[in-house]
Amino acid sequence: MKFLTLQQLLEHDAHSHTLIEPDERFEIITSRLADCIQTYKPAVIVKIGLGNPKYIEYIMQQSKALLVVVEPSLKLIHSFYAAHSNKEWMNRFYSIAGNFHDFPIDYYKADMLVCIDTLDMLDTGRAIDEFRRSLQFEGVLFLSGFVLPNEDIEGIFDEIAHTINPLHTDYYLEDDLKTFLSLNEFGVTKAHTEKITINLFSIAQYLDIALENVEKLIEENKEILSSLYYLQEDGTITLPYMISAFVRQKPSRDEEI
């Protein structure tokens, strides 16, 4: 494994966008992101990581909001400014070098927070606490990423994902993620789930993981991978991919006391 930190992985993935904000998911994500922007009309949008610049440019074209990106890699920040300094929307773009667990956004400053393909590499409890703190009441958390089908109660694929990418923390069951967020004062307002295919061996090679470890786990769990994830002979599986908007709820008067 050549990536010891999330920052290293982000810097590597910035060349191909294989894991985070790949081009092939652009349309299914941005169509729903545009709907959220048009519905809620945020004045300040905060994005988790620079990711794929196509997504940033799309947000800026869809909105006149200020966009603030929190990004742990100064290298990626410098590269982004070098590549986009001539864009007319750069006067509305701000970047902050920081991490996602000690979020460098003050209380209630964001109207919308955008997190695409990164939640499963964060300490979700700490991250969601920080996201909630930074959002206005009735602000929107736009969240997209892989989830587990509700039938995978044992979280079999979660173990395989961690073997392939040791920086992976956890995937939630789809219903469990909604419950977890509701317990953290986020109410689901728009929810959509796509079916996305990925190749386990290709991802393992991309992350420099020994294929025999992946092959062993696949063989041990072939039955459930076949029934729930439509495992193919070449290592291709199909995963639920959830694209949802959650509204930051105001605590009841009893909770405030």
Please indicate, yes or no, if residue 184 is contained in any of the structural domains: yes
* Residue 21's CATH number: 3.40.50.150
Output the pTM of the full model: 0.94
The H or E element containing residue 104 is none
Query: Does the pLDDT of residue 243 top 70, yes or no?
Result: yes
Q: What is the pLDDT of residue 168?
A: 96
Q: Which residue has the tokens 């995963």?
A: 239
Please indicate, yes or no, if residue 234 is contained in any of the structural domains: no
Q: What mean pLDDT, rounded, does the chain reach?
A: 94
Among 77-81, 209-213, 250-254, which stretch is predicted with the lowest mean pLDDT? 250-254
Please indicate, yes or no, if residue 27 is contained in any of the structural domains: yes
Query: Does the pLDDT of residue 256 top 90, yes or no?
Result: no
Distance, CA of 109 to CA of 103 (rounded, Å): 12
Please indicate, yes or no, if residue 221 is contained in any of the structural domains: no
> pLDDT (tens digit, 9 = 90+) per residue, 145-193?
999 999 999 999 999 999 999 999 999 999 999 999 999 999 999 999 9
Please indicate, yes or no, if residue 67 is contained in any of the structural domains: yes
Domain that holds residue 78: 6-150+170-197+241-249
Instruction: Report percent pLDDT > 90 for the chain.
Output: 94
> pLDDT (tens digit, 9 = 90+) per residue, 17-39?
999 999 999 999 999 999 999 99
Please indicate, yes or no, if residue 211 is contained in any of the structural domains: no
Q: How many domains does the chain have?
A: 1
Please indicate, yes or no, if residue 224 is contained in any of the structural domains: no
Q: What is the pLDDT of residue 257?
A: 44
Sheet with 236-248, strands from edge to edge, namely 93-97, 66-71, 44-48, 110-116, 135-146, 236-248, 186-199
Please indicate, yes or no, if residue 49 is contained in any of the structural domains: yes
Distance, CA of 79 to CA of 84 (rounded, Å): 9
